[in-house]
Amino acid sequence: MVNPITAWDLLADSRVQPGQWLAVTAGYSSVSTMVMQFAKRRGINVIALVRRSHDRLDLKRLGATATLDLSDLKVGIREAVMDMTGGAGLNGIIDNVGGPASGELIRTLAMGGQMVINGGMSSERFELHNFDVLLSGVEIRANIYRYFFSPPVEADRPVLREIVDIFGQPDFHISVGGIHPLAQFELAVANSLDRADLGKQIFRM
């Protein structure tokens, strides 16, 4: 349940409303595909950023309005996003990667937009000028798994039930990249770290 709860909270923290635009980095990752599916149910437009497109997973079927392939850009990220959104810009970003692309995405945020940082797959940094934040009223915040420090309480039951009800529907997709015996732990760990696009690596015990 860690990933569905995380995806649910990331979407809520982004504050993106129906009809607005959300960008999600690491588009093929499990958390990102769950965010897309939750967003689709709320009528939110999603741009999925991927390092390179492949045919193993149809992100548009999962809820992405558009996919931005970073390996095949003909223009800058900002120009591409503004074109995809019809000039409206982004209302929210869920960033699992970091690096220079994050700085470009922040500069596409509309007034009052939010970036929610959930990971740091890139070893590179991004740079901002104060005016990149000041002139748009942008907010940058971190997401920490809600039960990292303490377990669920009774008051959490309704929202957890709602997450389970959606997550458990037959059309809710979870990518499984491999099912392994424990002896293949090195391959499973390597794929989890380097090939998130394959889906979750599961141990058979």
Residue 130's pLDDT is 92
Q: Where are the alpha helices (DSSP H) in 1-119?
A: 2-14, 30-41, 59-62, 77-84, 100-106
Length of the chain: 205
Beta bridge partners of 92: 22, 114
CATH 3.40.50.1950 fits 2-142, yes or no: no
Contacts of 126 (CB under 8 A, 6+ apart): 98, 99, 100, 101, 102, 103, 104, 106
User: Residue 196 has what pLDDT?
Assistant: 64
pLDDT of amino acid 175: 77
Sequence-ordered list of residues with C-beta below 8 angstroms from that of 52, at least 6 positions apart, any chain: 69, 70, 71, 72
Which amino acid is located at 171 in the chain?
Answer: D
The pLDDT value recorded for residue 190 is 86
What residue ranges of the chain are covered by domains with CATH 3.40.50.720?
2-142
pLDDT value of residue 177: 77
| pLDDT at position 193 | 74
202 beta partners: 179
**Stated pTM of the model:** 0.87
DSSP 3-state of 64: coil
Please list the pLDDT of the chain residue by residue as tens digits (205 residues): 889 999 999 999 999 999 999 999 999 988 999 999 999 999 999 999 999 888 878 999 999 999 999 999 989 999 999 999 999 999 999 999 999 999 999 999 999 999 999 999 899 999 999 999 998 899 999 999 999 999 999 999 999 999 999 988 989 988 777 888 988 889 888 887 777 667 778 888 8
Q: Give the DSSP H or E segment for 3.
A: helix 2-14
Residues contacting 84, CB < 8 A, separation 6+: 21, 47, 65, 66, 68
Q: What is the gyration radius of the CA atoms in the chain, in angstroms? A: 17
